[in-house]
Amino acid sequence: MHSLSWDIAVFLKRLPKNLRSNRWWIVWNKRLYLSTPRKGLATNRASQRNHVEDWVAESNHYVVWFLRAFRRKEFEGAQHALFLPELGMFGNMTKRLAAALATADSLGFGHVVVPRSAEFSGGIYERGVHDRGGRALFWMCDTRDSPHSPVTVLHKTDFLSGRALPARELAAFSPRGWADLFSVLINKPVKAPLPDSHLVIHLRGGDVFGPRKPASYGQPPLAFYQRILDNERWSAVTIVHQDDKNPVLRPFLETCKARKVPVTTHSGKVGEDIAELLRASTLVAGRGTFMPAVVGLSRNVKRVFYFHDKFSIHPPVPGVEIIRISDVEGTYVRDVLSNNWENSDYQRKLMLTYPQSNLGRGALH
């Protein structure tokens, strides 16, 4: 009975969103767009297509209703838009937006459209219609006071599970996409960038150590942070943390004091934490999607340390040294990082007692 009530509540909550965007139609900016069969926009055989024509032919696209019946559907790139129906929290949201901007520019599309219903976590990026200086217009959760829709075709895509262009096709466009996304951040850094010798660590807490316990998001051991601390002579350390739930926090503070390394902590609203992380030249990442998004947005970062996995930046970011620390012995990965995180007493103890001697520095990339 409880499950049925929950399902009904979720259905009712999502109903307005589903009525505006579904497999058959999209309603956006006072226009109705109707789903068109795949390959409905193709004008060349597969063997003759370039990467733009191939992507368009295979995409899920919606054509404005009064042109839906036309047999020949050829439209200028400026009339095409990428449509993002979901954003998610900061990490996934940022990856989706950066990939959409770079992909739209690579394809020669005129627009990137994010409907208001897609915004799960607000207060990160400015709403509005953002002019990107000759590149795809960025409609971020707003159509108010905007011109009537110039978009003829919407391409509905995800960028987490959907089709993506190869990295080689995005390489020339991703730096500009990341920079344009940074430009619409609400909380930009207001303090000066930090020097290379100032180590900035993101320590994840929150749901990982709460009742939800996401199985795939076990966090690095204390030894990971201690190894990096011992690797160089740092002028200072800043720990940016969500809360006090991560068991590594207090012992690592004690380690810094024992090593006589000045250490400060920062814990604020998510936008404030992001702004602090964006000051860093040298970063240490917790496991998850949060820090790859920070690195993509950063105008200052030069080096990033991460543990084992879950650190991929898409679209790619050039010029950042990424250093992997791995569990060469294997017990920690087996017992904590194999989709088996339960926040158990044993796992929490292993986070604090796993020895540095079991860790190794992986290849740079």
Residue 4 in this model has a pLDDT that exceeds 90:
no
Fold of 198-364: Rossmann fold (3.40.50)
Report domain extents, the chain: 16-183, 198-364
What's the pLDDT at 45? 47
**Per mean pLDDT, which of 13-27, 269-283, 306-320 is the most reliable?**
269-283
**Could you tell me the CA-to-CA distances from 130 to 241, 272, 348 in Å, in that order?**
32, 23, 45
- Residue 192: CB partners within 8 Å, gap ≥ 6? 279
Please report the beta strands in the chain, taking only residues with DSSP state E, as ranges in sequence order: 25-28, 31-36, 60-64, 80-83, 111-114, 128-130, 137-140, 153-156, 198-203, 236-241, 263-266, 282-284, 303-307, 321-327, 359-364
Beta strands at 263-266 and 153-156: parallel, antiparallel or unpaired: unpaired
Instruction: Determine the Cα–Cα distance for residues 80 and 154; give it in Å rounded to an integer.
Output: 6
* Secondary structure class of 108 (helix, strand, coil): coil
Q: Is 182 exposed, middle or buried (0-12, 13-18, 19+ CB in 10 A)?
A: middle
Q: Which tens digits make up the pLDDT trace of 16-51?
A: 777 788 889 999 888 899 998 755 454 444 444 466
Q: For residues 112 and 100, is the Cβ–Cβ distance under 8 A?
A: yes
Q: Which tens digits make up the pLDDT trace of 324-361?
A: 999 999 999 999 999 999 999 999 999 999 999 999 98
Does the predicted TM-score (pTM) go above 0.75?
Answer: yes
Question: How is residue 305 written in tokens?
Answer: 């340390």
